Amino acid sequence: MSGGIEAWTFKGDEIANTFDHHVRTQLPFYDMVLDSIASMVKNFLPKGGHMTDIGCSTGNLYFRLMKDIKEREAVYHGVDSSKEMIQRFRERCSNLEQQQDSAKDCRFVELELDEFGKSDRIKNEASTHLWTRPNVFVMNLTYMFLSPETREKWLEYMKERVKDHGAIIIVDKCKEERGYLSMIYQRMLWDFKSKNSSLEEIVKKELSLRGVQIPERRTLFLDHGFDEWFRYGDFSGFIYLQ
């Protein structure tokens, strides 16, 4: 990128090792949203059920649901493009097992999310790894990082694969088209970030996201039959019931 600022990426050991701290310095609602998603998942995950977390990062959602997944003899699939994120997730599970807790109901899937739909190989790979139709799909803060050519294909895939009486839960940044209000939302978030990061770091991060983070129209999710359940500034949460 121009000015010596490299494009943002979730790949690499540095971001994987600092992700859990970093995301909490950027989004004041991060833990509340994860708690809310976990609460909703419990309504759709039956005994022996399956759930798929697309863009799982280091497994924060899994660890909130681990007790329920174990009690219901369910299976969690964590999917991510970053092998380093998956490795960090594995390490956290390994630490649990060393403490006599179980993470054997957790499956790790490294998959190039942004290549989905561009080739039959990737789509077949997704179906092979995620061989069973899940009761719940979750895509938390992931959709905006998918290319415009790929993202709607993921929506269609999830709607096609989710089991009857299941759900798709998405939280993402959306385009805000209300002029000055959009600017207020941005300033509100920057105000929070400034408590944890320098202004130079905030600007550098924003510039690194050019062409990498592309928010979607809120109406796209509504047009696909989703209901909005959460909003903070230009971030929204949506749920689709099958």
Q: What is the pLDDT along the chain (242 residues), one digit of tens a residue?
A: 445 788 888 888 888 898 999 999 999 999 999 999 999 999 999 999 999 999 999 999 999 999 999 999 999 999 999 999 999 999 999 887 666 566 678 888 888 888 765 655 555 655 665 557 899 999 999 999 998 888 888 999 899 999 999 999 999 999 877 788 888 888 898 899 999 888 888 888 888 888 888 999 999 999 999 999 999 999 999 999 99
What integer pLDDT is reported at residue 113 of this predicted model?
86
Total-model pTM: 0.89
Query: What dihedral do alpha carbons 117, 136, 65, 73 form, nearest 10°?
Result: -110
What integer pLDDT is reported at residue 224 of this predicted model?
95
What integer pLDDT is reported at residue 32 of this predicted model?
97
CATH number of 2-241: 3.40.50.150
What integer pLDDT is reported at residue 123 of this predicted model?
58
Burial of 39 (0-12, 13-18, 19+ CB in 10 A): exposed
pLDDT digits (tens, 9 = 90+) for 38-84: 999 999 999 999 999 999 999 999 999 999 999 999 999 999 999 99
Give the Cα separation of 165 and 174 in Å (integer): 27
What integer pLDDT is reported at residue 3 of this predicted model?
57
Are the beta carbons of 53 and 61 closer than 8 angstroms? Answer: yes
Domain extents for the chain?
Answer: 2-241
What integer pLDDT is reported at residue 138 of this predicted model?
97
What integer pLDDT is reported at residue 2 of this predicted model?
46
Burial of 140 (0-12, 13-18, 19+ CB in 10 A): buried
The DSSP symbol for 215 reads P
